[in-house]
Amino acid sequence: MKRYYLFIALLIGIIFTGCEYDNFDEPKSTLSGSVVYEGNPVGIRNNGPQLELWQDGYQLRYAIPVYIAQDGTYSVSLFDGEYKLVRKAGAPWEPQLSDTITINVKGNTVYDVPVKPYFTISKESFQHASGKITANFTVNKIVENANLAQVRLFIGHSVLTDQNKKEQVVDVDISGIIFGQQSSLSVNLSESLKKLDEVFIRVGVRANVTNEFYYTQVQKISLK
């Protein structure tokens, strides 16, 4: 009988504790913006590279992950207050772990996060004719001591096309790439992609010190 009453007491305690947690306010403010280089959003792998937010002055201090969409935008719900933003390693840009950015969040706050990619791609264009895609683009070296590892053309059936989500990928011969000058590549679409009304294309460049690509923004190409 004592065990029964003890069980009931524990159950009631758990219920009341749960109610107390339910009564906590949800964060109502939003911090949003883009990860940018020279004012332009940086294309990445969707939910791949991350930022971190920290807030001082609390007994339980932990990192708040900030997920970035494939077009370089981000959005996170927060309480009003002062936060420190960290640009983590493992991204297509230089990590700046000690160079934190202080952001004051109040209501809906917009902040574009500057980064320095190892390489960028500019002046990209894609054309389709008779089942073949022709890509033109320029690879730019931003970090002087960075070494070029890969340049790839990614083709998929959705806007979320990248290294992990693609139907066709073509490696570019990096020995023929001259930084700051236009490169060209032509590729026949796979039989499965030829049957579609449209495909999504982007070019990515990767430095040897990271597994993540810097991508151009996804472009939709009509096949019909």
Query: Is 92 in the same domain as 171?
Result: no
Query: Is 109 in the same domain as 33?
Result: yes
User: What is the model's pTM?
Assistant: 0.84
Summarised one tens digit per residue, pLDDT across range 155-194 is 999 999 999 999 999 999 999 999 999 999 999 999 999 9
DSSP state of 111: -
pLDDT tops 90 at residue 25? no
**Which CATH number belongs to the domain containing residue 127 in this structure?**
2.60.40.2060
**Which CATH number belongs to the domain containing residue 108 in this structure?**
2.60.40.1120
Summarised one tens digit per residue, pLDDT across range 61-90 is 778 999 999 999 999 999 999 999 999 889
Q: Give the β-pairing of 132-141 and 198-207.
A: unpaired
Domain count, the chain: 2
Tokens standing for residue 34: 């883009």
**Domain extent at residue 110:** 26-114
Rounded to whole angstroms, what are the CA distances from 44 to 24, 93, 206, 221, 222? 35, 10, 11, 19, 23
Strand locations in the chain, DSSP E?
29-37, 40-41, 50-54, 64-67, 73-78, 81-87, 96-105, 108-110, 113-114, 119-129, 132-141, 148-156, 168-171, 182-188, 198-207, 214-215, 219-222
Strand partners of residue 170 = 153
Three-state DSSP at 88 gives coil
Three-state DSSP at 79 gives coil
Whole-number average pLDDT of the chain: 89
C-alpha to C-alpha distance for 62 and 53, rounded to whole angstroms: 9
